[in-house]
């Protein structure tokens, strides 16, 4: 049940409009021990708007949910997000996500979900002071995916086919990442040109 891809397109691009998955909350709830399987929901006004399933397996957690783009068919999304533990100065350990977006791997406490879960930087959700670069970052992410997919370079070009030898699930994940990052970069471009008010 639940999923992504409806009702959240085209809104204000800010961290408020996405579903945050905060590893500190998972940790505090004791959900990060290996072999756990659980679901996580987001609600607005008491109503569930999205949910995902998670499984912990050693040094990573598997995200499992469904996604569809622009009213297309629902696709199963399932991919690992690696965890990293660091020692705190005053003792104890802290846990982080490694952002699963292609070519990122940043150590972050919060992943933001739209069609894919990725860090704030990948989604172009920079803080105000650095917002002018968020479109560029999303564009770089989108370009990196085009390269991995062996598609013609340049986000002005249409998406291509699945490369030979790539699993469908990987293709769907990268394709969803691509949509998210390309949308961000185009929205940012339009904003810079004054086509969309901030």
Rounded least distance, CB 75 to Zn ion, Å: 21
Q: Where are the alpha helices (DSSP H) in 88-167?
A: 134-148
d(CA 177, CA 142): 8
Answer yes or no: are the C-beta atoms of 111 and 93 closer than 8 Å.
Answer: no
Residue of the chain from 31, 32, 49, 104 that contacts Zn ion (CB under 5 A): 104
Rounded least distance, CB 21 to Zn ion, Å: 13
Rounded least distance, CB 122 to Zn ion, Å: 3
- β-partners of residue 43 are 48
Q: Is 18 in the site for Zn ion (CB under 5 A)?
A: no
Residue of the chain from 21, 23, 83, 122 that contacts Zn ion (CB under 5 A): 122
Residue whose C-alpha is closest to residue 15's, from 133, 112, 109, 108: 112
Query: Between residues 3 and 105, which has the closer beta carbon with respect to Zn ion?
Result: 105
User: Scanning the structure block, which residue is given the tokens 């945050």?
Assistant: 20
Residue of the chain from 26, 99, 116, 125 that contacts Zn ion (CB under 5 A): 99
Answer yes or no: are the C-beta atoms of 119 and 99 closer than 8 Å.
Answer: yes
Q: Is 187 in the site for Zn ion (CB under 5 A)?
A: no
Q: Given the rule CB under 5 A, which residues bind Zn ion?
A: 99, 101, 104, 106, 118-119, 122
């Amino acid at each position: 049940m639940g999923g992504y891809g409806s009702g959240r397109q085209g809104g204000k691009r800010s961290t408020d409009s996405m579903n945050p998955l905060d590893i500190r909350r998972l940790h505090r709830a004791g959900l990060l021990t290996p072999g756990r399987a659980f679901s996580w929901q987001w609600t607005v006004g008491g109503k569930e708007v999205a949910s995902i399933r998670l499984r912990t397996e050693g040094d990573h957690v598997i995200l499992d949910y469904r996604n569809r783009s622009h009213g297309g068919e629902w696709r199963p999304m399932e991919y690992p997000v690696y965890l990293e533990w660091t020692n705190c100065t005053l003792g104890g350990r802290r846990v982080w996500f490694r952002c699963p977006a292609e070519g990122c791997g940043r150590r972050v406490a919060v992943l933001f979900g739209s069609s894919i879960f990725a860090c704030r930087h990948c989604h172009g959700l920079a803080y105000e002071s650095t917002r002018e670069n968020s479109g560029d970052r999303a564009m770089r992410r989108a370009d990196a995916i085009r390269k991995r997919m062996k598609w013609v370079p340049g986000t002005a070009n249409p998406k291509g086919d699945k490369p030979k030898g790539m699993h469908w699930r990987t293709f769907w994940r990268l394709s969803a990442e691509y949509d998210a990052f390309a949308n961000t970069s185009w929205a940012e471009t339009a904003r810079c040109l004054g086509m969309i008010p901030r």
